[in-house]
C-alpha cells in the first residue's frame, strides 16, 4: 500500500518537473497536434470576429503578442510600445523608486532631444503628464478560442489530489504542451442524484468569467462517458488548512497571515467587481501555488448578485457563515468580508473564532455564537490584527469593514496593510513569506483519500445531453493562449521564412494540403455543432 503512494507521488513529481529531456512534458507529436490550419480555413472566423482593439490586442495574450510583433516592423510604433512598457513598469515600481522612474519617462519619451521622443504626444498632454509624474507617490496615483470540446485523450492523468463535491480531483498534463493542471471531475450520476446541475453549471460559468491572479482559472471543460471535467490551475502548495494545522504548531506568524489576507482581499475585490459573492471562504478552499501565493478555489456556492439588488440564501460552512446568512436575511457581498475576518483570526490563533478544532459542537450552538457572542483574542494578536478582525467580524453588516460603500478599498486601507504595496502585489512582484518545497506533495496519501461510493438508482438519459453541452465547451480563450505562450509552443509555431515571405499556411494563393489526422487547431476553425459532438467523446477523440 505504501509502495502505491510512493509510485504515484514519484510519477507526479516527474511530470511537474517536465518529465526530463528537452520536450518539457510535451508529446513527441506536439507540433503535429498543434499544426496551424491553412489561412483559407480561417475566413469564416475572421468575418465573425469582432474587431475590438482592447479584446484582441490587450486582453488576449496571443493577440497581444502578434500586435507587438507587428509594431516591431515600424520604428515609430516600436517607440510607442517601448513607451507603454515603461509606463507599465512605472505603475508597479516601489514607492521609493517611483520618482526616479518618472524622471526616466520624462527624459526618454517626452523630451524632443531624446531619440525615443514620441512626437504624437502634444504639448498639452506632455504638460499634464509631467505635472502628474512629478507628484509624490500617493493612493490617487496609484471568443472562445475553440469551437468544440476536447476529451480525456487531450491529457495525461496522474494521482488523485483530493475530493470535490461531485467527484475526485486529480493532477493532469496537456499532452501537446506539457502544462500541468488539476482536473475536477463531476460525476454525471452524482450530479443528477443531488439535482446539482445548476450548481455545476454556475461554477463553470463563473470560473470562465473571472480572470484573476487570486482565483483559480478554468482552462478547459470537457466530458467523458461518466463525468464532466473542469481543468483548473494546479496549485502544488496545498491548502491553507493543511499549512495551518499540519506544518508544526497550529497557526502562522502574523506577517504571513497578513500577506495571505492581502491577497484574499484582492481576490474578493476581483470577484465583487464582477458582482460575484463567493460565500464559502475557509482554509481548505484557499490554495498555494509553487511560489507561495494563494488563490481562491471551489466556486460551487458563488453566485452573481444583480445590480442594485440583494440575494438570500442560507449557504456556506458552519462557523464561517455571517450572522445575516445564519438569520436568513438578504445580503450582497458582506458575507465574504465576515469570512475573511474568520480566516485571519484562524491563521493567527490556530483555531476558528467560533468553534474549536476536533471538538464536537452542535450546529445551532455555533450559530448562536456567531449571532450573539463576541470572539476572544489571545496575546498572539497585535493591536492592528485585533482591530482588523473586530472590524471584519462586526455582527451588523452596515458596521462591517468592506460593507460601507467602498468594498475592498476600505479593507486594504487598514493600517495592518501599511507595508503592502498593492500595485506590486497585484502584478505578482511581491515575494511570498513562505515557498512550498518543490519536492513535496502537500496533500493526503493516495490511500487516505476516501473514495466515493457507487451511485445507484440513477440512469442517464438523452435529454441530459443539453446540460452536458453547456458545461463541456472546450478551452477557455485567455488561459489557453497563456498556455501556448508559456510553453513556447506559439513561439515555435509562429514562424516566417528568413526572407520575410509568408509560410504556405498563410499564402492565400495556395490550397490547404490534406492531412491524414486533424490537429486541434484545424478543428478549432471548422464550424462544428457542439451538441452534435456530445454523444460519446471517447469514440472520436479530439487530438491536441
Residue 386 labeled ligand binder: no
d(CA 260, CA 266): 10
Residues in the chain: 544
d(CA 237, CA 434): 10
For residue 81, CA distances in Å to 71, 90, 118, 183, 308 come to 7, 14, 11, 38, 40
Adjacent-strand bridge partners of 184: 169, 230
Known catalytic residue: 280?
Answer: yes
Instruction: Specify whether the CB–CB gap between 416 and 387 falls below 8 A.
Output: yes
Question: Which conformational region is residue 20 in: left (phi greater than 0), alpha (psi within -120 to 50 degrees), or beta?
Answer: left
For residue 470, CA distances in Å to 97, 189, 356, 367, 532 come to 49, 17, 42, 37, 12
CA dihedral (400, 405, 408, 410) positive or negative: negative
Question: φ, ψ for residue 244 (rounded to 5)?
Answer: -65, -40
d(CA 473, CA 465): 13
Instruction: Specify whether the CB–CB gap between 287 and 235 falls below 8 A.
Output: yes
d(CA 507, CA 339): 57
**What is the CB neighbour count within 10 angstroms for residue 14?**
13
d(CA 320, CA 353): 9
d(CA 13, CA 440): 8
Adjacent-strand bridge partners of 228: 186, 223
Annotated catalytic residue within 280, 289, 298, 336 = 280
β-strand pairing of 155-163 with 168-174: antiparallel
Cell, residue 22? 528537452
CA dihedral (99, 103, 106, 109) positive or negative: negative
For residue 319, CA distances in Å to 341, 358, 359 come to 12, 13, 13
User: H or E stretch including 340?
Assistant: helix 334-349
SS3 277: strand
For residue 266, CA distances in Å to 243, 300, 537 come to 21, 20, 38
**What is the CB neighbour count within 10 angstroms for residue 233?**
18
Q: Where are the beta strands (DSSP E) in 6-150?
A: none
Instruction: Specify whether the CB–CB gap between 276 and 321 falls below 8 A.
Output: no
d(CA 76, CA 151): 45
**Residue list for the binding site:** 193
**Residue list for the binding site for ATP:** 193
Catalytic residues, by residue number, are 280
Amino acid at each position: 500500500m505504501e509502495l502505491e503512494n510512493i509510485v504515484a507521488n514519484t510519477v507526479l513529481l516527474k511530470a511537474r518537473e517536465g518529465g526530463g529531456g528537452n520536450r518539457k512534458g510535451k508529446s513527441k507529436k506536439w507540433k503535429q497536434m498543434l499544426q496551424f490550419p491553412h489561412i483559407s480555413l480561417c475566413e469564416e472566423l475572421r468575418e465573425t470576429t469582432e474587431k475590438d482593439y482592447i479584446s484582441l490586442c490587450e486582453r488576449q495574450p496571443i493577440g497581444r503578442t502578434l500586435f507587438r510583433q507587428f509594431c516591431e516592423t515600424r520604428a515609430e510604433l516600436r517607440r510607442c510600445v517601448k513607451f507603454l512598457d515603461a509606463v507599465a513598469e512605472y505603475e508597479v515600481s516601489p514607492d521609493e523608486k517611483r520618482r526616479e522612474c518618472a524622471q526616466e519617462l520624462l527624459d526618454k519619451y517626452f523630451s524632443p532631444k531624446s531619440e525615443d521622443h514620441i512626437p504624437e504626444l502634444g504639448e498639452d498632454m506632455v504638460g499634464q503628464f509631467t505635472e502628474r509624474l512629478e507628484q509624490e507617490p500617493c493612493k490617487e496615483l496609484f471568443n472562445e478560442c475553440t469551437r468544440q470540446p476536447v476529451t480525456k485523450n487531450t491529457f495525461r492523468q496522474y494521482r488523485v489530489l483530493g475530493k470535490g463535491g461531485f467527484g475526485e480531483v486529480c493532477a493532469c498534463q496537456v499532452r501537446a504542451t506539457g502544462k500541468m493542471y488539476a482536473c475536477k471531475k463531476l460525476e454525471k450520476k452524482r450530479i443528477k442524484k443531488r439535482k446539482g446541475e445548476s450548481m455545476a453549471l454556475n461554477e463553470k460559468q463563473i470560473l470562465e468569467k473571472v480572470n484573476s491572479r487570486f482565483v483559480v482559472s478554468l482552462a478547459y471543460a470537457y466530458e467523458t462517458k461518466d463525468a464532466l471535467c473542469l481543468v483548473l490551475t494546479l496549485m502544488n502548495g496545498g491548502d491553507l488548512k493543511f499549512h495551518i494545522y499540519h506544518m508544526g504548531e497550529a497557526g502562522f506568524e502574523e506577517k504571513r497571515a497578513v500577506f495571505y489576507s492581502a491577497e484574499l482581499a484582492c481576490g474578493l475585490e476581483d470577484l465583487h467587481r464582477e458582482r460575484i459573492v463567493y460565500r464559502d471562504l475557509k482554509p481548505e478552499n484557499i490554495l498555494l501555488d509553487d511560489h507561495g501565493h494563494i488563490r481562491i478555489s471551489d466556486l460551487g456556492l458563488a453566485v452573481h448578485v444583480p445590480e442594485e439588488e440583494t440575494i438570500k440564501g442560507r449557504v456556506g460552512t458552519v462557523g464561517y457563515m455571517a450572522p445575516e446568512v445564519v438569520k436568513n436575511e438578504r445580503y450582497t457581498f458582506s458575507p465574504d468580508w465576515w469570512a475573511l475576518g474568520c480566516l485571519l483570526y484562524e491563521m493567527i490563533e490556530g483555531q476558528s473564532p467560533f468553534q474549536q478544532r476536533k471538538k464536537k459542537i452542535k450546529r445551532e450552538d455555533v450559530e448562536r455564537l456567531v449571532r450573539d457572542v463576541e470572539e476572544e483574542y489571545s496575546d498572539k494578536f497585535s493591536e492592528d490584527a485585533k482591530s482588523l478582525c473586530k472590524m471584519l467580524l462586526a455582527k451588523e453588516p452596515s458596521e462591517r469593514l468592506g460593507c460601507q460603500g467602498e468594498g475592498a478599498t476600505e479593507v486594504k486601507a487598514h493600517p495592518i496593510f501599511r507595508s503592502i504595496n498593492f500595485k506590486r502585489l497585484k502584478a505578482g512582484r511581491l515575494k511570498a513569506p513562505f515557498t512550498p518545497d518543490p519536492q513535496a506533495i502537500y496533500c493526503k496519501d493516495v490511500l487516505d483519500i476516501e473514495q466515493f461510493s457507487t451511485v445507484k438508482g440513477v440512469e442517464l438519459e438523452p435529454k441530459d445531453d443539453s446540460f452536458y453541452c453547456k458545461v463541456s465547451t472546450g478551452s477557455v480563450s485567455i488561459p489557453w493562449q497563456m498556455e501556448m505562450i508559456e510553453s513556447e509552443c506559439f513561439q515555435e509555431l509562429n514562424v516566417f521564412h528568413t526572407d520575410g515571405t509568408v509560410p504556405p499556411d498563410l499564402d492565400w494563393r495556395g490550397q490547404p494540403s490534406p492531412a491524414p489526422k486533424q490537429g486541434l487547431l484545424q478543428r478549432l476553425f471548422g464550424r462544428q455543432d457542439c451538441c452534435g459532438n456530445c454523444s460519446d467523446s471517447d469514440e472520436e477523440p479530439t487530438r491536441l
